[in-house]
Amino acid sequence: MPKHPLSPDALLGSREIRFLDRQSTNYPNLMRLCLDFEFRVLQLLHDSAVPSEGKSFLVATQDYRTTPTAAITPACASLEELEEYITHHLVDILHDYLFGFVDEDIANGQFD
């Protein structure tokens, strides 16, 4: 999946959602990305990408504070929607994380 550009201010004005207990999570794929691959689930508090109540959620790399292209998912209106997105795109996300994505794939529209 290509990076989803957001301004660094949008990511800095966010709250990290923590998954601490593997047994009690309602979002197993989000939990796995966070615990096993060190991704971060962020709640954007000042985002206009999703108009519902001004709050949205996305997954970013652990260096989101310093990298403006750290978002790896689009903003979703709820954690349930983000979990569903991750469920459908998990293989692509992990492939890009482990091996990187090829610029030609993006140019050909493979990741739209």
| Helix ranges (DSSP H) in 1-112 | 8-12, 28-37, 79-99, 103-107
- The model's pLDDT over 56-92, given as tens digits with 9 standing for 90+, comes to 899 988 887 777 667 889 999 999 999 999 999 999 9
pLDDT class of 108 with cuts at 50, 70, 90: low
- SS3 at position 99: helix
Q: Check residue 2 and give its pLDDT.
A: 44
Residue 25 CA: distances (Å) to CA of 6, 17, 54, 107, 108: 28, 12, 25, 37, 37
Sequence spans of domains, the chain: 8-107
Q: Which residues contact 87 (CB under 8 A, 6 or more apart)?
A: 29
- Where is pLDDT greater, at 4 or 53? 4
Q: Check residue 83 and give its pLDDT.
A: 95
Write the DSSP symbol of residue 18: P
- The model's pLDDT over 12-29, given as tens digits with 9 standing for 90+, comes to 678 888 887 766 678 999
